[in-house]
Amino acid sequence: MLGVSVLLSTLFSLIVGLVSSEKAVICYYGTWATYRHSYGQYDVENINPYLCTHLIYTFAGIDNTGKIISLDPYLDLSDGRDNFKKFNALKNKNPNLKTLLAVGGWNEGSAKYSKMAASTSRRKNFIDSSLNMITSYGFDGLDLDWEYPNRRDTVYGTADIDNFTTLLREIREAFDKKELLLTAAVSSVREAASQSYNVTAISQYLDIIHIMTYDMHGSWDPVTGHNSPLYKGEGDEGAVKEDLYTIDQALAYWIGAGCPPEKIAVGVPFYGRTFTLSDANVNGVRAAATGAGIAGPYTATNGFLGYNEFCNLLQTESWTQRYDQLAKVPYAFKDYDWVTYDDANSIALKVDYAKSLGIDKIMIWSIETDDFHGLCGDGNNPLLNAINLALDSSFTTNRPSSTSSPDATTSNSDSSAAETSSSSSLPIPSPASSVTPATICQGRLYAPKAGDCSSFYICVIKADGSYEPKEVKCSKGLHWDQTILACNYPSEVKCSA
Ligand SMILES: *[C@@H]1O[C@H](CO)[C@@H](O)[C@H](O)[C@H]1NC(C)=O
Ligand SMILES: *[C@@H]1O[C@H](CO)[C@@H](O)[C@H](O)[C@H]1NC(C)=O
């Protein structure tokens, strides 16, 4: 009897360990926030190194020979503010922290990367110089943000897709010798991602894949829309589900295309986007808009608002706040101004949704627009705390209090213990089922499990084109809903198991 229960608990911890050991809060830091004024200024000293498992420094660039370069030597290097070094010194406070250097980003464009990836010698320049920069400043790895292969100002078009795979394979070979991390930020929805990536191929070489599940709507659209909707929302009734820009569709695409859920980090925005309405009285989702709306006092960009900027406006001005019950995100309007944004609640729902798919990594763009001074009354870093709490409450409670300043905290020795402990709310993939895959998946990305309302299958496409069903359990108390392809309240679901 004892033997059986020991065996069972060993099996259980093995299975739980598979999903819970890789939990991650991956924080991008937009380093130029150092130059913002007053309460918007965010330097390395403002980073709380206990609220992220991974911190990413943005951005390095490349030159015309493919060599990696600092884009702001004054900020990054020792002749100036020395932020490369200060950033990596955060690991002295939290030894479990991993740091990555991001190369690329929107402003770097695609052309230089298209040329670099297409040439054996430029790829070598890139890999050698990256290895050198990373190891000499103490980063734990590289995050590749080529925006995007085969899009924008690409030079080689569709050849970028395979050349990107080749580049990743070669970086992986060089990095494995030094045990460095390799990650990438990728576009999210099918329409974009399917132009840029061979998903099964790149997934082999990347440790973590940062899916940028935001910027789905913004002032470039003729109508209002959400920056980062979880599901299809108000005004989407007639649309074909697969065509919609939503987090659930983006994740369905990536998982269905063969990216293992355990490698996925779901992107969460700490900013909103603003529109100007055509008619102040037509102010819902998908209302006509004439272009970008208000800018924030610190980020000073029309069409964009940091959470730290908007939480303050919501308190000092007369905004009407609404919540899209379908898309699970808030929005707000005032006269001709319309804002889509995320708050602690909508972010927690995103984390829960990720967990329901067996995804335990959340990526954030970007930490310098959280309410890091706690000026809106919910403590310092309310959004980052919401993520830690939703991912695993023991994660946060084992860390030094988030309301104390990072400098006042000294140790984080408990956090590795917290990460390996089991969490009852995480979905637990079961061992392979004896039912043949073809019967379960039938070409679907998600399939219900006969006889078990609280479980479902994610059908992952393997490199050979076959489907492998991965059984996943919904969070406690929820049932799988095949109509919305998500775990849902039992009262909403027709299930007769
Ligand atoms: C880039 O991709 C194209 C198309 O797949 C291929 O012909 C070319 O050889 C690649 N370049 C390198 C250096 O691998
Ligand atoms: C994706 O890459 C794999 C190799 O990893 C290859 O077998 C497959 O043909 C590629 N798919 C496409 C559509 O090019």
- Give the CATH number for residue 462: 2.170.140
What residues make up the domain containing 439? 430-492
Does residue 162 fall inside a structural domain? yes
CB 271 within 8 A of CB 307: yes
Does residue 357 fall inside a structural domain? yes
Q: What is the predicted pLDDT for the residue at 436?
A: 53
Statement: residue 393 has pLDDT above 80: no
The pTM assigned to this predicted structure is: 0.83
CA of 102 to the centre of ligand 1 (A): 24
Query: For ligand 1, atom 8, which residue shows the shortest CA distance?
Result: 118
What percentage of residues in the chain have a pLDDT greater than 70? 85
Largest separation between any pair of C-alpha atoms in the chain: 72
- Give the CATH number for residue 73: 3.20.20.80
Query: For ligand 1, atom 6, which residue shows the shortest CA distance?
Result: 159
Residues 379 and 469 occupy one common structural domain: no
Residues 350 and 485 occupy one common structural domain: no
- Give the closest ligand to the alpha carbon of residue 169: 2
Query: For ligand 2, atom 7, which residue shows the shortest CA distance?
Result: 463
Give how many domains the chain has, as a whole number. 2
Does residue 381 fall inside a structural domain? yes
Residues 476 and 347 occupy one common structural domain: no
* Helices 120-137 and 159-176, packing angle to 10 deg: 40
Q: What is the predicted pLDDT for the residue at 489?
A: 74
CB 203 less than 6 A from any atom of ligand 2: no
Does residue 131 fall inside a structural domain? yes
| Nearest atom (ligand 2) to Cα of 199 | 1
Query: For ligand 1, atom 4, which residue shows the shortest CA distance?
Result: 159
Confidence of residue 101 (pLDDT cuts 50, 70, 90): very high
CA of 435 to the centre of ligand 2 (A): 27
Residues 123 and 19 occupy one common structural domain: yes
Give the end-to-end CA distance of the chain in Å, rounded to a whole number. Answer: 31
CA of 161 to the centre of ligand 1 (A): 9
Residues 102 and 233 occupy one common structural domain: yes
Residues 441 and 384 occupy one common structural domain: no
Best residue among 165, 200, 461 to mutate for probing ligand 2's pocket (most ligand atoms within 8 Å of CB) is 200
d(CA 355, CA 391): 8
CB 174 within 8 A of CB 211: no
Does residue 402 fall inside a structural domain? no
Give me the catalytic one of 147, 234, 309, 368: 147
| Nearest atom (ligand 1) to Cα of 158 | 4
Best residue among 113, 122, 146, 162 to mutate for probing ligand 1's pocket (most ligand atoms within 8 Å of CB) is 162
Residues 483 and 376 occupy one common structural domain: no
Best residue among 160, 168, 198, 464 to mutate for probing ligand 2's pocket (most ligand atoms within 8 Å of CB) is 198
Token pair for 431: 């061992």
Which run of H or of E encompasses 281? none
d(CA 245, CA 229): 8
Does residue 277 fall inside a structural domain? no
Best residue among 113, 163, 166, 171 to mutate for probing ligand 1's pocket (most ligand atoms within 8 Å of CB) is 163
Token pair for 429: 């993939």
- Give the closest ligand to the alpha carbon of residue 115: 1
- Give the closest ligand to the alpha carbon of residue 170: 1
CB 163 less than 6 A from any atom of ligand 1: yes
Q: What is the predicted pLDDT for the residue at 16?
A: 34
> Any idea of the CA torsion for 38, 39, 44, 49, to the nearest 10 degrees?
170
> How far is residue 83 CA from its own chain's centroid?
24
Query: For ligand 2, atom 12, which residue shows the shortest CA distance?
Result: 198
Average pLDDT of the residues in 474-478: 71
Q: What is the predicted pLDDT for the residue at 4?
A: 43
CA of 201 to the centre of ligand 2 (A): 6
Statement: residue 487 has pLDDT above 80: no
Q: What is the predicted pLDDT for the residue at 431?
A: 37
Residues 151 and 213 occupy one common structural domain: yes
Does residue 279 fall inside a structural domain? no
Q: Where are the beta strands (DSSP E) in 247-328?
A: 264-269, 271-277, 289-292, 304-306, 320-324
Confidence of residue 492 (pLDDT cuts 50, 70, 90): confident
Determine which of 251-265, 294-308, 467-481 has the lowest per-residue pLDDT on average: 467-481
Q: pLDDT tens across 119-128, in order? A: 999 999 999 9
- Quote the mean pLDDT of the chain: 87
Query: For ligand 2, atom 3, which residue shows the shortest CA distance?
Result: 201
Query: For ligand 2, atom 14, which residue shows the shortest CA distance?
Result: 198
Average pLDDT of the residues in 100-106: 98
For 131, other C-beta atoms within 10 Å of its C-beta total 18
Residues 264 and 360 occupy one common structural domain: yes
- Give the closest ligand to the alpha carbon of residue 163: 1
Does residue 321 fall inside a structural domain? no
CB 198 less than 6 A from any atom of ligand 2: yes
CB 201 less than 6 A from any atom of ligand 2: yes
Token pair for 69: 């370069």
In the residue annotation, 242 being an active-site residue is answered as no
CB 166 less than 6 A from any atom of ligand 1: yes
CA of 118 to the centre of ligand 1 (A): 6
Phi first, then psi, for residue 456 (nearest 5°) are -155, 175
Statement: residue 435 has pLDDT above 80: no
Residues 487 and 364 occupy one common structural domain: no
Listed in sequence order, the residues at least 6 apart from 262 whose beta carbon sits closer than 8 Å to its beta carbon are: 18, 19, 22, 358, 359, 360
Q: Which of 493, 495, 485 is nearest to 459 (CA)?
A: 485
Residues 439 and 374 occupy one common structural domain: no
Q: pLDDT tens across 144-165, in order? A: 999 999 999 999 999 999 999 9
- Give the closest ligand to the alpha carbon of residue 200: 2
Query: For ligand 2, atom 13, which residue shows the shortest CA distance?
Result: 198
Residues 349 and 483 occupy one common structural domain: no
Q: Which of 24, 138, 30, 92 is nearest to 406 (CA)?
A: 92
